[in-house]
Amino acid sequence: MTAALKLRNQTNMVIGYHLGPSADLARSGEDHLIGMLAPTCRTFIDVGANVGDWSAAFISAAPRAQGLLFEPSYGASVRLKQRFRNMSTVEIVEAAVGNCHGSMPFYEEPGAGVRSSLIASEGGDRVRKRSVTVTTIDTELAKRGWEGVDFLKVDAEGYDSKVLQGASSLIRERRVRLIQFEYNSTWAAAGDTLAKAIKTLEGNKYSVYLVRPEGLFSFDYGRYGEYYSYSNYLAVSPDSIAHVSSMLKGWI
């Protein structure tokens, strides 16, 4: 049994590397995605903004876009405020995002660590546990009077599927044009599956693609199943398919 478990874990790692070769913006395909799609966007949301690298790249490609950046990490929030202090189009919200409202334990890595999470399994012994505010995308957009959002990026270290659940009204009414979300090993700890996320999005008429450096690939879930390794997906509303057509590369 030990050998079988070791083989399964190694196999998942190999599959994960094939589907998501790097978490680096330039090597993951995210930079290319931003360059192609950000100029078509007037609004964006960055859930799990950390120190703002993704948002900075997005703003560089769409300098007039209005953005909401959510980050519950104290260390990361301080750096976000400093980085975007002169940008009136950017609002930083010191809160976690999920499928409910209230407060939850947050496990924060020192030094604005990228693995800080609402999931207790993340971060190891270095984390500091503290309580943070939790909100939903549906609530935050309604509070600001936003009818919808062009681009929603989610990197919530295992809580990604719950962020999507908290945007259910927007997704059901297809008031989010483009949704990028990260899938990784912490989805298992959160009790979520890629299958459920894809089924929900496709059930609301979104097309879901795997993001790779070469472009966007239709994903054969029946072939890969739950592999619980790093990769990014892009869900595209019916009205936005034309914007991604040049990036489509077939099935993987």
Q: Tell me, what CATH number does 33's domain have?
A: 3.40.50.150
Q: What are the tens digits of pLDDT across the range 200-215?
A: 999 999 999 999 999 9
Residues 6 or more apart whose CB falls under 8 angstroms from that of 164 comprise 154, 171, 179, 181, 197, 200, 201
At a CB cut-off of 8 Å and minimum separation 6, what does 225 contact? 195
**CA dist., res. 116 & res. 107, Å (int):** 6
Distance, CA of 219 to chain centre: 17
Q: What is the DSSP letter of 208?
A: E
Mean pLDDT of the chain: 92
Contact assessment for residue 79 and residue 94, using Cβ atoms and an 8 Å cutoff:
no
Share of the chain above pLDDT 90, in %: 81
Structure tokens at 182: 């990260």
Tell me the H-state helices in 145-192: 160-165, 168-172, 186-190
- Residue 89 in this model has a pLDDT that exceeds 80: yes
Given a cut of 50, is residue 51 above it in pLDDT?
yes
Q: Please say if the pLDDT value at position 86 is more than 70.
A: yes
> For residue 9, is pLDDT > 70?
no
| 3-state SS assignment for residue 45 | strand
106 pLDDT more than 90: yes
Asked if 72 and 133 count as a contact pair (C-beta separation under 8 A), the reply is yes
What range does the domain containing 46 cover? 2-251
| The pLDDT value given to residue 24 | 81
pLDDT exceeds 60 at position 62:
yes
Output the pLDDT for position 5: 40
Q: Domain tally for the chain? A: 1
Q: Are 96 and 159 in contact (CB under 8 A)?
A: yes
pLDDT above 80: residue 15: no
Cα–Cα nearest to 79, from 90, 92, 60, 68 = 92
Bridge partners, 68 (sequence order):
45, 91
User: What are the tens digits of pLDDT across the range 186-244?
Assistant: 999 999 999 999 999 999 999 999 999 999 999 999 999 999 999 999 999 999 999 99
